[in-house]
Amino acid sequence: MLEQFSPDIQFIIVIVILAVLFLAVFLNNKSNKRKHYDRKNRNFRRNFYDKKQNKKED
């Protein structure tokens, strides 16, 4: 696929592709950390019943 390009251009293309993949993984990891932040300290039972009460009121 990259045979049509010179070896220097091939090297640059590979570096750019790796940089884009690294950036995608980094942003996904950041997003996942934000979603699961402080998960150990939350009280799921209390949150569940609070949500249930809110649904009944609506």
DSSP assignment of 11-38 equals HHHHHHHHHHHHHHHHHHHHHHHHHTTT
Q: What pLDDT, on a 0 to 100 scale, did the predictor assign at position 52?
A: 87
Q: Which amino acid would we find at residue 4?
A: Q
Q: What pLDDT, on a 0 to 100 scale, did the predictor assign at position 40?
A: 64
Asked whether the predicted pLDDT for residue 1 surpasses 80, the reply is: no
pLDDT > 90: percent of the chain:
40
Average pLDDT over residues 28-52: 81
Q: What pLDDT, on a 0 to 100 scale, did the predictor assign at position 55?
A: 83
